[in-house]
Structure 1
Amino acid sequence: MTTMDAFAEPDPEMEAVADELLRTDPDGARWAAVVRHTYDMIYNGAETGRYRWDQLMKTEKTHFGTLFEINAQREFEFDGGDQTDYRIAGHQVDAKWSQKEGSWMLPPEVFGRLALVATGNDERAIWSLGLVRVRQEYRSEGANRDKKTTLNSLGRSSVRWLWKDSPMPANILLQLPRPNVDDLFTRKYGTQRTNQLFRLAEGQLVHRSAVRTVAMQLDDQKRVRTNGGARSALAPEGYIILSGTRDEQKQIAADLGVPVPSRTEYIAVRIVPAGPGFGVEIKGEQWRRATPGEVSTKPAPLFGKTEE
């Protein structure tokens, strides 16, 4: 899981910090959520309708690292360092983010210390996080006017990766064909855009942030629920929209053979009636997932308005 030179000197501080990070988040799910949340914050889709990195201004892109640092501190409640961002396992650690792996900007005060370096790619829905000791021999020769430098090839190869190209909750708007998403945003009303999102993303996980972005409002549940939301609008077409906040709905997703949503996700599934013993029981009737192009002959069952 590391790319460090096998003959590198032992670094007990790095090992202690690595152990603490892995103890608090064994599978990396919490860090993945931090990265996802930071992308969503910087897009600010509920107000702007943005969902891509290339839609951001230069100053916003620069601000991403600060938001990542703050969101990580809130999630893990790290103590503050003296000259660094955090104190982890009693050791000073500085947090650095770069959209391009290896391009972390390292100020003079972090030289000789540990840096928590992270990167991600929203289009590929992956992220990486590791630790490196910022040694003199790891620094590139050039520096900017703030005397910040990057890691040279030796430094980049010395990063101890705790998670490398790990998955994070995907931005469905980046997973769908771009022309379809562009067309979606031509619709005048948030309800129309939300309904079309679930049609396009049938059988795929939809994060709440994507619903807020296409609806351009903060209350994603209002756009999804039965009374006037996507559930009631799409039921005549055979769609059910399942939420990860309800165990019953998660089980239905599993029984239908589609991805099971987390608490921050939805999934729309188009279903048709099934014969006895050939489907999944939903609201007392047998249903199965519709095949591509199959006509829905009966409206899908509705979940109560409180079943978000």
Structure 2
Amino acid sequence: MTFEAVPLPLFSDLQDDGGDEELGRVRAELVCMDPLGQRFAAVLRETIDQLLNGEHTGHYAWNQLLKTEKTHAGTMVEINLQRRFGFDNGDEMDYSIAAVDVDCKYSQRFGAWMIPPEALGHLCLLVWADDVESRWSAGLVRIRPEILNGGSNRDQKMTIRAEHRDKIVWIWKDAELPENVLLHLDADTREKILVPGAKKGQARINQLFRLVLGRRIGRGVVRTAAQQVDYMARVREGGKGRARPKLREEGIIILGDYQKHQDIAAALGGPVPGKGEFVSHRVVRASPAHEGRPSAEIEGSLWVVARPGEWEHEKERAPRLPDPQANQV
């Protein structure tokens, strides 16, 4: 069984390119390379996580970054997109896409793209992502003097006039950015997870999967909680203190991005972990009282996601998940 993401709205199919043949070619090439926008979204998620550098800093929010760190965001987005998609270097602009020079501009604040004078006449790939809103957009626009505000900074960089943002041909608009779970937790829960201490990495990971049930948890969140180089080892089997065996005693399973785990996640009726993601659930053995609820077969028995108070009644150990390396597809 395989899982396919629901296609994002392709605004490129809805907006006219205004007869700009080069824009149309670039748009078609980007959609061909990433029809659902998943690769693009993954680059933005990874770039934000790189900036936060939670493994070493414990940071989980944009406003925790220094001003000098924030200034690197545009360059990192530009570099990481080029690496992921293999864009050629442009002759005058950042990229060559479909044999067209394209500049890349990122802003964490919608509409605040800084356009340099040398971009006049060229296409710009405008990228926005907001970790608080868990949304991102990417579109193309031909830079012409009449759509710009005058540059008032030292570099004479300009912005696009608000009334001319309708000239942007959106490829993906307000698409879902993989969630930064730590950022969106209530302060009390986050404090219970991010307990201070150099040797508290395993405890933080265990708390993360204990307290954040039924939500996709990205690798960057795990890295920030662990604050250790071997952060992934904190989740796996292999020791009594590690998250999977430890939380199994509390009725909790931790599903990863393996096919077998994705099958179980779908059967349980919850979110399916994507690449580099986890989902934890507290489960109970299915009984006639659970008829009609989504269930998954694990270790030869049917299990359902526990509702509040159900596990506390029996306090049964959770099943061990199938070995992802055995006959893995």
TM tier, smaller = over 0.9
Question: Does structure 1 retain, via aligned residues, the 8 Å contact 2:15–2:169?
Answer: no
What letter corresponds to residue 317 of structure 2 in structure 1? P
1:5 shift after superposition: 9.0
Residue number among 286, 291, 294 corresponding to 2:307 in the alignment: 291
- Please give the alpha-carbon distance, in whole angstroms, between the structure 2 residues aligned to 1:4 and 1:152: 22
**Structure 2 Cα separation of the partners of residues 55 and 25 of structure 1:** 32
Distance 1:174 1:155, change over 3 A: same
1:87 and 1:3 mapped to 2: Cα distance?
22
Distance in structure 2 (CA, Å) of the matches to 1:219 and 1:127: 30
The answer to whether structure 1 residue 204 and structure 2 residue 215 are counterparts is yes
SS in 2 for 1:119: strand
Instruction: Give yes or no for contact 1:5–1:157 (8 Å, CA) kept in 2.
Output: no
2-structure distance, mates of 1:204, 1:111: 44
1:3/1:158 contact within 8 Å kept: no
Measure the CA separation in 2 of the matches of 1:204 and 1:260: 9
- Structure 1 counterpart of 2:38: 29
Gap runs ≥5 in structure 2: 1-10
Question: In 2, distance between residues paired with 1:77 and 1:3?
Answer: 24
User: Counterpart in 1 of 2:108?
Assistant: 99
Aligned equivalent of 1:280: 296
Change in 2 beyond 3 A, CA 1:91/1:282: same
Q: Could you tell me how far 1:4 is from its partner in structure 2?
A: 10
- Whether the 8 Å contact between 2:12 and 2:171 is mirrored in structure 1 is yes
2:83 is the counterpart of 1:67: no
Distance in 2, matches of 1:39 and 1:217, equals 19
Is the partner of 1:106 in helix, strand or coil?
Answer: coil
Partner of 2:279: 267
Deviation at 1:9, TM superposition (A): 4.6
- TM-score norm. by structure 1 comes to 0.93
Hey, what's the Cα distance between the residues in 2 that align with 1:144 and 1:185? Answer: 40
Equivalent in the alignment of 2:206: 195
User: In the TM superposition, what whole-angstrom CA distance separates every residue of 1:248-272 from its partner, at most 9, and x where no partner exists?
Assistant: 1111111111111112101101011
SS in 2 for 1:37: helix
- Given the alignment of the two structures, is residue 242 of structure 1 paired with residue 255 of structure 2, yes or no? yes
Distance 2:14 2:71 in 1: 29
CA distance in structure 2 between the partners assigned to 1:3 and 1:96 by the alignment: 22
Q: CA offsets per residue over residues 200-248 of structure 1, 9 Å max, x none?
A: 211111111111110002333201112231011111110000111x221
Contact 2:93/2:101 (8 A) holds in 1: yes
| Alignment size in residue pairs | 306
Alpha carbons of structure 1 residues 249 and 305: separation in structure 2 relative to 1, 3 Å = closer
- Rounded to whole Å, the distance in 2 between the matches of 1:157 and 1:261 is 35
Change in CA separation of 1:79 and 1:88 when aligned onto 2, cut-off 3 Å: same
Q: Secondary structure at the match of 1:237?
A: coil
Match of 1:126 among 135, 142, 162: 135
Q: Which moved more, 1:135-144 or 1:189-198?
A: 135-144
Q: What TM-score results when the alignment is normalised by the length of structure 2?
A: 0.88
2:246 maps to what in 1?
233
Identity of aligned residues (%): 44
Q: Which residue of 1 aligns with 2:187?
A: 178
Q: Aligned runs of 1:140-151 on 2, under 5 Å?
A: 140-151=149-160
CA distance in 2, matches of 1:251, 1:304: 11
What secondary structure, in the 3-state scheme, does the structure 2 residue paired with 1:92 have? strand
How has the CA–CA distance of structure 1 residues 194 and 68 changed in structure 2, closer, same or farther, with 3 Å as cutoff? same
- Say what the alpha-carbon RMSD is for the aligned residues: 2.2
| Contact kept in structure 1, 2:111 and 2:159, CA below 8 Å | yes
Stretch deviating more after TM superposition (204-213 or 147-156): 147-156
Shift of 1:3: 12
**Equivalent residue of 2:104, what SS?**
strand
CA offsets 1:67-100 (integer angstroms, 9 cap, x no match): 0000000011101012210011111000000111
